């Protein structure tokens, strides 16, 4: 009788051990970035040393304020808003960066938390108007106190984002609104920050609407490039 009980306890221990091992295996696989690919066919983001425990802030462009650029049909019905595109990309990019090990916060356009914001990097996510143009562009504060750091950030975006998305640089439309972007003046002056226009709601609509995962990967890999260059704040 006693022997049987002992055997049962052994079986239970073995069972618990197997479950624990399976759990450890799953966590290890997740950390290594193994797993089922997402809708865009990308393997899940794995942990990145340079991203570990870093503070990343996104502004979901126009959130809490207005719709931003819009596409309308001939009757004036709104078909697509920039704010929706920005929010989707901010969400997907945030998920990827969290899997990389970073702490991510998504802010509204005029979020109160922008005042004095301290982070390893801030990126404001916008998209361009509903015209038949194609391409992305990014800008940093023209009067920044950390111009070298911000140029590194911009250079990472200008190298990595077009490489991942295939979108061309569309520099002729970088406006005063971008280099004098309101958030640049609100955040802590030591926080690296940039604003990106992901593409045009018109000419790049198919990619913005149907491949937000690809756009988000372009954003995330751009920021990872910067974090790898700037390991300490």
Give me the residues that bind Zn ion (CB under 5 A), please.
Answer: 61, 68, 126
Closest contact distance (angstroms) between CB of 134 and Zn ion is 17
Nearer to Zn ion, 200 or 226 (CB): 200
**Minimum CB distance to Zn ion, residue 206 (Å):** 19
Smallest distance, Zn ion to C-beta of residue 195, A: 9
Alpha helices in 53-109 (DSSP H): 82-100
Task: Give the nearest distance from C-beta 201 to Zn ion in angstroms.
Answer: 10
Helix axes 147-165, 212-229, angle to 10 degrees: 140
Q: Given the complex with Zn ion, which of 60 and 165 has the nearer CB atom?
A: 60
Nearer to Zn ion, 88 or 126 (CB): 126
The token duo for 34 is 């193994």
Minimum CB distance to Zn ion, residue 51 (Å): 26
Supply the minimum distance, in Å, between the C-beta of residue 125 and Zn ion: 9
Q: Is 137 exposed, middle or buried (0-12, 13-18, 19+ CB in 10 A)?
A: buried
| DSSP-assigned states of every residue in 123-172 | EEEEEE-SSS---BEEE--TT-S-HHHHHHHHHHHHHHHHHHH-PPB-GG
* Residue at shortest CB range from Zn ion: 126
**If you search the block for the tokens 């988000």, which residue do you land on?**
216
Q: What is the DSSP string of 164-210?
A: HH-PPB-GGG--HHHHT-HHHHHS-TTS-EEEEEEEETTTTHHHHHH
Residue 68 or 218 with smaller CB distance to Zn ion: 68
Residue 84 or 120 with smaller CB distance to Zn ion: 84
Question: With left for phi above 0 and alpha for psi between -120 and 50, is residue 68 left, alpha or beta?
Answer: left
For Zn ion, give the closer residue by CB, 50 or 139: 139
Closer by beta carbon to Zn ion, 69 or else 214? 69
Q: How far is the CB of 79 from Zn ion (least distance, A)?
A: 17
Distance between CA atoms of residues 190 and 160, nearest Å: 23
């Amino acid at each position: 009788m006693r022997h049987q009980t002992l055997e049962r306890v052994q079986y239970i221990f073995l069972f618990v051990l197997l479950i624990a091992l399976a759990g450890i295996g799953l966590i290890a696989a997740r950390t290594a970035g193994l797993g089922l690919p997402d809708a865009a066919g990308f393997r899940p983001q794995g942990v990145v040393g340079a991203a570990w425990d870093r503070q990343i802030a996104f502004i979901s462009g126009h959130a809490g304020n207005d719709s931003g650029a819009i596409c309308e049909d001939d009757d004036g019905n709104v078909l697509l808003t920039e704010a929706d595109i920005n929010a989707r990309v901010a969400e997907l990019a945030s998920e990827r960066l969290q899997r990389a090990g970073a702490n991510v916060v998504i802010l509204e356009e005029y979020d109160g938390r922008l005042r004095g914001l301290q982070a390893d990097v801030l990126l404001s996510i916008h998209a361009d108007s509903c015209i038949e143009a194609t391409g992305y562009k990014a800008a940093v504060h023209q009067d920044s106190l950390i111009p070298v750091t911000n140029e590194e950030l911009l250079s990472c975006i200008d190298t990595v984002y077009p490489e991942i998305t295939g979108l061309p640089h569309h520099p002729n439309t970088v406006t005063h609104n971008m280099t004098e972007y309101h958030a640049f003046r609100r955040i802590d002056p030591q926080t690296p920050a940039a604003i990106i226009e992901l593409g045009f709601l018109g000419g790049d609509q198919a990619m913005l609407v149907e491949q937000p995962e690809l756009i988000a990967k372009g954003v995330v890999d751009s920021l990872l490039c910067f974090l790898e260059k700037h390991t300490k704040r």
